[in-house]
Amino acid sequence: METLTAIQNRYTTKAYDTSRKIPQARIEQLLEGLRMSPSSVNAQPWHFIVASDDGGKARIAKAAQGTFGYNGPKIMNASHVIVFAARTDMTPRHMEAILEQEERDGRFQIEGAKEGQRRGRQSFVDIHRYEQKDLQHWMEKQVYLALGTLMLAAATQGIDTTPMEGFDFRLLDAELGLRERGYSSVVLLSLGYHAETDFNSRLPKSRLPQADVMTFI
């Protein structure tokens, strides 16, 4: 599907067809696209938990009860659900792992490039840690870049999605043992194919006009 058409057709799915599953080959392509998402200074401060069966989805749905009960069916009825988690700290071990992977991938073509990358990334992280004091917020913003990447990729494949912040992140972190692993859940994404009963699929898309949201200088 052409990219602009996919963007124009994409919408937030409210009800999923439980009889339809995303083919394995296609979900693998989408997950590889997710892995390749951009992040500031290639920090990759994330982890993704993927649920494709009822057991896995039920664990995630535990965090969508009570106040957030309206999101339960969107989790349980979708083909796949992904928990987007952010790191709770940008540790030296994580940054060294990135650097070593960059070296294996051939990123350092000239003398001193590896050390320059190490210093540059550390400097940027330190700005957010010590000067702007927004390191956690900065890492979570990178997670949303990954969310947008996957939503666009899914749209080009005719796959419906629902991003959700309406869940108890403390409960989900405990259920999945995320804090112990150095992560915390940020946002969920359901993926699949909308049901005929999905009212939102029949409504026109609505956005403010270009003149209201863009300034050309």
CATH number at residue 84: 3.40.109.10
| Domains held by the chain: number | 1
Q: What is the dihedral of CA 164, 128, 44, 179, to 10 degrees?
A: -60
Q: What pTM was computed for the model?
A: 0.97
Write out the residue range of the structural domain in which residue 47 sits. 3-89+135-212
Summarize the chain as % helix, strand, coil (round to 5): 55, 15, 35
Cα dihedral 181, 187, 193, 195 sign: positive
Instruction: Give the integer Cα–Cα distance in Å for 188 and 147.
Output: 9
Tens digits of residue pLDDT in 143-180: 999 999 999 999 999 999 999 999 999 999 999 999 99
Q: What is the mean pLDDT of residues 192-215?
A: 97
Residues marked as catalytic: 14, 74, 165
Residue 100 lies in a domain: no
Q: Are 141 and 166 in contact (CB under 8 A)?
A: no
Is the pLDDT at 197 greater than 80? The verdict is: yes
Q: What is the mean pLDDT of residues 130-143?
A: 98
Residue 140 lies in a domain: yes
Q: What is the pLDDT of residue 1?
A: 75
Give the Cβ contact number of residue 93 at 10 Å. Answer: 7
